Amino acid sequence: MLGAVLQARDGDLRVLLWQRAQQPHLHRWALPGGRLAATEDVETSIRRQLAEKVDVHKLSHVEQISVFSAPDRFPGRRVVATAFLGLVPSDIDPEVPADTRWHPVADLPDTAFDHGEIALTARDRLRAKLSYTNIGFALAPAEFTVSELRRIYSAALGYQVSATNLQRVLSRRGVLETTGRTVSAGPSGGRPPALFRFTNRDLEVTDPFAVLRPPSRGGQD
């Protein structure tokens, strides 16, 4: 089993990779993972492995992506991998081992086996679900301003999102609610930004036919 752990932070959608310490593909960057224990279900297993191997304990969401079974994906013998998407909120900065690092999904290093393909598959799954579910809760802090949420969605989707439109769409779907609190307006002054939160921090389909699209050349969608 392999875990593609993603986080939207500092303007990028990032994936957690570690360097292999053995052949094949010695020193190449790889997704963390391991074998399913006899007493575990698959989600328990991937959470344990991520906690043990790369010290990631605070996954806000985990789901199975797909099974990767190309006959030549692993040299010398047949190895089938079940891959999982894991999400870490933007305000969490887990301490990872020296051989582990966050990499922008848009600029992946030379990866072991088909792990680059798996990371891109995880990215595509996340982007699709941002359109029709409330999965943004798993990328965002517990409370946030609309500007902060816009930056998270923009990093995850790979294009700039309109804060006004994002708030309107998510509020219409009943996904967002105000906390009744604000944060400091900062040195530039103006109205203090309101703090929001997701109404539900469990995954749910909010609009099964919705598709978020990049803005047209004439302006923001």
pLDDT digits (tens, 9 = 90+) for 96-152: 889 999 999 999 999 999 999 999 999 999 999 999 999 999 999 999 999 999 999
**In the chain, where do the E strands start and end?**
2-9, 12-19, 29-30, 61-68, 81-87, 100-104, 176-182, 194-198
For residue 36, pLDDT over 90 is answered with no
Which pLDDT score, from 0 to 100, does residue 217 have?
Answer: 58
The pTM (predicted TM-score) of the whole model is 0.90
Q: Can you list the domains of the chain with their CATH numbers?
A: 2-131 (3.90.79.10), 134-198 (1.10.10.10)
How do residues 144-188 score in pLDDT, each as one tens digit? 999 999 999 999 999 999 999 999 999 999 999 999 999 887 666
The phi and psi torsions of 139 (rounded to 5 degrees) equal -100, -20
Confidence of residue 189 (pLDDT cuts 50, 70, 90): low
> Cβ distance 179 to 191 under 8 Å?
no
How do residues 57-70 score in pLDDT, each as one tens digit? 788 999 999 999 88
Cα distances (Å, whole numbers) of residue 174 to 138, 162, 200: 16, 18, 9
For residue 93, pLDDT over 80 is answered with yes
